[in-house]
A and B are shown apart, each in its own frame.
Chain A
Amino acid sequence: MSVERSRLTWRDTISEAVAAITQRPVRTLLTALGTILGVGAFVATSGLAETARAQVSSRFDALKATEVRIQDAAPDGTNPFPDDVAARLERLNGINHAGLYYTVADSGSLQPRTTAARPVNSGAAVPVIAAQPGAILAALPVLQVGRIYDDFHETRGERVALIGRAAAAQLGVARVDNQPVVFIGDIAYTIIGIIDDVQRNPDLLLSIVIPASAAERDLQASGANYLVLIDTAPGAAQLAGRQAPLALRPDHPERLQALVPPDPKRLRNQISGDVTSLFLALSGLALLIGTVAIANATLLNVIERRAEIGLRRAFGAKRSHIRRQITIEAALVGTAAGITGASLGLLGVVATAASRGWTTTINPTTILAAPLIGLVTGTIAGLIPAIRASRTPPAETLRA
């Protein structure tokens, strides 16, 4: 004689699970709360960690020295650099702009001015800087009006000039569309741009800047402090400093000396590593606490229902029927609570970052993993007591 089997359709399993969730809203909320808190804490902590780390990085990026100066290691009054500085350097990796730069020595004969006639009583003279276009660009300038002279002007030794904001005020130049000129010595240079600001070499703001080739030809400059200014890509300063002397003077690289900033990468990595491991520890802790909270809430919920499980068994439920129902319940609650917790945690991160003026940076895996953590932890925590209760003889679970 064969026994007729117990049967529970999937539809009925799901509707029993949904009823258990929706018809005990307080209990469900309490269960969910553990998961919401757990997942929320995890997302918030790891999100803040990520954001803070990115913040540290970007602070360092902002400060990150990308400036390299090459100077004469043994100054003898002559220009130690070749003519084609930019061409030689800009083909090296990580170098954005490079060019020769020096202040033209002025014994008082230059008398920069906007009129042909020399002034009778000369006040403080505006300095004249000779710079190749790359050196100006390496200062990261912002123009008020006009434009920067380029390689064309440089190679041809065009008589053009840029003037700094302060020098423009001193000379009384406000516009360039009327092609104003500045006289240096007795030579007129057309002003083609006014520099409003620079991030490096603020001397540029106080000076008249002319192409290095023009300065050499017109002003017979010598005895100046010759420099090559280089702007590098972030992180390339060290390499540029090592390669530039050889690129510029393959015959006598020792004649040149590179001034590079302290390696910011190592410092940043160190600090960012510290921050990361600190927050990683915190996230781990939050995850642990969260897991315990989820497990605890779900565990309590199921233990509370031992008698119900016993009853269902008495009325013919198979162990697998109990497992299925509890799994579905725990999965639904865990996922919903996980998503809620992740959203709240994310909101917390965004709000915190916004109040600090930081950019929220969060690893998408964290957000995607969070509901999964709720799901998996909740399901395991729900299943273990459910399996135990369904293995206990119903006589015992009903006795409670």
Chain B
Amino acid sequence: MTDTVPPAVESVVVVEGLSKVFRGPPEVAALRPCSFRVGAGEFVAITGPSGSGKTTLLSLLGLLDTPSSGRYLLDGVDVAGLSDNDRAGVRARQIGFVFQAFHLIGYRTVLENVELGLLYHGTAKAVRRERALEVIERVGLSGRMHGLCSQLSGGEKQRVAIARTLIRRPSLVLCDEPTGNLDTVNSDAILTTLEELHAEGMTVVVITHDAGVAARAQRNLQIRDGVLSETVGVG
């Protein structure tokens, strides 16, 4: 059921003819069939105007939604053959998300939100706590550890979200406009952290419509009206 690509290819993401049509009404072809690969350890930016299908693509890559057509191999596994529980397992073990809207649990503390990154790994509570403290330290929020997430600033929230992904050590980090709601100083801090993750060997895919963010990626993909095209990398 699962196809394996030759290990020599070393692609984390292999997409062939992947598309998404939202069955309306009205019917929206959010993503036209597209094909591309993301190699292990790459830092890729996907840019495009609002409504062009960026979030749709990222949701497919993150197994948050199912494609209307096409094939998607993640770490060599065709995800079409996975059960819902297996998809949850892949999300838990291999993928990290950073959302534009942060999606923290507002009534829980910073520490608890970061620990959530490992909750569905079945990791022992003590280990979760220990590693959460480490990554919170790393994003510079040790002082706010016991504060409620609902009371943080936007920049702080996104740092919590990054820490929540960091703690998982995922092979693929998917970021949907991680700096969309932040000022330049905070944006820069977040990007720096993403660059560090990349440097540590994680594969990072960032969606943005900020050219400055795209410029810091190794490789740029562009999407316009649901059509994906590769542009020459700037960085």
Contacts and interface: CB of A to CB of B under 8 A. Distances in A.
Interface of A: 1, 3-9, 11-12, 16, 19-20, 23-24, 307-308, 310-321, 393-396, 398-399
B108 interface: yes
B88 A6 contact: yes
Contacts of A321: 120
Contacts of B2: 1
Interface of B: 2, 4, 55-56, 59, 62, 64-66, 76-77, 82, 84-86, 88-93, 97, 99, 101, 103, 105, 107-108, 112, 116-117, 119-122, 125, 164
Give the interface centre of A1, A11, A20, A395 by most chain B CB atoms within 10 Å: A395
B88 A1 contact: no
Contact of A308 (B56, B66, B89, B105): B105
21 contacts: A1-B2, A3-B86, A3-B89, A4-B93, A6-B120, A8-B119, A23-B107, A24-B107, A308-B105, A312-B119, A313-B91, A314-B97, A314-B103, A315-B92, A315-B164, A316-B93, A316-B119, A316-B120, A317-B92, A320-B85, A321-B120
A12 B101 CA distance: 26
Contacts of A393: 59, 64-66
Contact of B91 (A23, A316, A396): A316
Contact of A5 (B76, B85, B116): B85
B121 A316 contact: yes
Contact of A316 (B89, B105, B107): B89
A307 B104 CA distance: 9
Given A6-B92, A398-B103, 7 more contacts: A1-B76, A6-B88, A8-B122, A307-B103, A317-B120, A394-B64, A395-B56
Contacts of B56: 395
Given A3-B89, A6-B88, A315 B117 contact: yes
A349 B121 CA distance: 51
B130 to A, nearest CB: 16
A3 B77 contact: yes
Contact of B99 (A24, A396, A398): A398
A173 B116 CA distance: 94
A6 B117 contact: no
A334 B88 CA distance: 29
Contacts of A1: 2, 4, 76-77
A395 B122 contact: no
A261 to B, nearest CB: 69
B103 to A, nearest CB: 5
A22 B64 CA distance: 30
B65 A9 contact: no
> 9 closest A-B pairs (Cβ-Cβ)?
A316-B92, A7-B122, A395-B59, A316-B120, A395-B65, A395-B64, A394-B64, A393-B65, A6-B92
Contacts of B97: 314-315
Contact of B85 (A11, A310, A311, A318): A318
A9 B107 contact: no
B89 A314 contact: no
Give the interface centre of A8, A11, A313, A398 by most chain B CB atoms within 10 Å: A398
A304 B120 CA distance: 22
A307 B105 CA distance: 9
Give the interface centre of A6, A11, A321 by most chain B CB atoms within 10 Å: A6
Contacts of B116: 312, 315
Nearest to B128: A12
Contacts of B59: 393-395
Contact of A396 (B65, B82, B92, B108): B65
B77 A313 contact: no
B107 A317 contact: no
A280 B92 CA distance: 52
B121 A7 contact: yes
A241 to B, nearest CB: 74
Given A1-B77, A3-B89, A6-B89, A315 B105 contact: no
B64 A6 contact: no
A317 B55 CA distance: 21
